[in-house]
Chain A
Amino acid sequence: MRYWLIVWLFALSSIASGSLRAGEAQPLAADELTEKRLVAISSELRCLVCQNESLAGSHAELANDLRREIRSLIQDGRSDAEIMEFMVSRYGDFVRYRPPLKATTLLLWFGPGLLFVVGLSALVLYLRRRNRAIVDPPLTADQRAQAEALLQDQDSDQKLS
């Protein structure tokens, strides 16, 4: 009984999420190839209103306008590179999720790696210095003799404990 209830609930939830997804990505044009390219291009672009969403996933008014614009550019026979250029010339490199490598984006591309290298070398340096600090200095002849005397002397052992 419980088994069937669980199966039924799973089925229900999958139907619900399925219908939700269908409601989200309602292709406006019938042309499948155009829509595929539109999704591919707009997933590479940032929505400028909600900046952490891609243009493909955003419901912002401007995102709608821009998707329509891209669709009409595709239908005009423009290449993906030309469409990218269209967007970048208006909104700047920020609109791309993968900004091009140039002088102003060097820190963006290599900053994390640089930070990692700096952190790693700091760690290695620290560990080495600590290793050196905790090496036991060798015993002098006097100290060794004292230690051996202590080890052989049963009484002193008891006294110590």
Chain B
Amino acid sequence: MNRFLWPLIGFFFLVALLAVGLNLNPRDLPSPLVGKPAPNFTLPQLAAPGQTFSPQDMLGQVWLLNVWASWCVSCRQEHPLLVELAKRRIVPLIGLNYKEVRGDGATDIDKLAPGMEQPMVVERAAAWLAKHGDPYTLSVLDIDGRVGIDYGVYGVPETYVIDRGGIIRLKHTGPITPDVLSGKILPLLGELSR
């Protein structure tokens, strides 16, 4: 046996290990929420701030919850795909508008007069949807990001697939790509709505 055989095998094992490691997405963390009931909330709707929405309203339906904000660059990247998905009317898509004003990195929330934030949120979010298209059945306003914490949001956009019983079945962090949509989300939706 060649004396270089084992070092060579070791070397290729290391290369394979590092190659796998480099191709993993460090932002893609397993969510402990998958398989658990979607956390409840009651938030005002974007189109009608007087009305509220709560996940309980969706019991009995399979639905998607998509976390977005107008300042979120990757949201723009996935947006055409969402608009396309909405046209196909496969599944209700609820938008969770996440920290629209205080998350933009430019607005100092302490300098805003109380009561000023929500109108700003509504204005910015509505303007963004008017410009890029509105794929959402409805959007709700998570102004301070409190609901985002309950859903374990750490990087917008995030998308949740929630089943008829209100259980989270999938969490996707980062923009939805055509691969993710056709490879993961659509098959899961088909399975859940059977």
- Mark A residues whose CB is within 8 Å of B: 48-49, 51, 61-62, 65-66, 69, 88-94
Consensus secondary structure, chain B interface: loop
Q: Please, which residues of chain A bring their CB within 8 A of the CB of B32?
A: 88-93
**8 closest A-B pairs (Cβ-Cβ)?**
A48-B154, A90-B152, A92-B32, A91-B152, A94-B29, A65-B145, A62-B154, A92-B30
In the complex, whether B174 has a CB less than 8 A from a CB of chain A is no
In the complex, whether B149 has a CB less than 8 A from a CB of chain A is yes
CA distance A51 to B105 in the complex (A): 19
CA distance A94 to B24 in the complex (A): 15
Please list 30 pairs of residues, one from A and one from B, whose beta carbons are closer than 8 Å in the complex, sorted by A's number.
A48-B29, A48-B155, A49-B154, A49-B155, A51-B26, A61-B99, A61-B103, A61-B105, A62-B145, A62-B154, A65-B145, A65-B148, A65-B149, A66-B149, A69-B146, A69-B149, A88-B32, A89-B32, A90-B32, A90-B150, A90-B152, A91-B32, A91-B152, A91-B154, A92-B30, A92-B31, A92-B32, A93-B32, A94-B29, A94-B30
CA distance A38 to B68 in the complex (A): 30
Interface range, B side = 10 to 19
- Mark B residues whose CB is within 8 Å of A: 26, 29-33, 99, 103, 105, 144-146, 148-152, 154-155
Residue of A whose beta carbon sits closest to that of B154: A48
What 12 additional pairs, Cβ within 8 angstroms, besides A61-B105, A65-B144, A69-B149?
A49-B154, A49-B155, A62-B145, A66-B149, A88-B32, A89-B32, A90-B32, A90-B33, A92-B29, A92-B31, A92-B152, A94-B30
Q: Are B29 and A91 in contact (CB under 8 A)?
A: yes
Q: Please, which residues of chain B bring their CB within 8 A of the CB of A61?
A: 99, 103, 105
Q: Please, which residues of chain A bring their CB within 8 A of the CB of B31?
A: 91-92
Residue of B whose beta carbon sits closest to that of A49: B154
Q: Please, which residues of chain B bring their CB within 8 A of the CB of A51?
A: 26
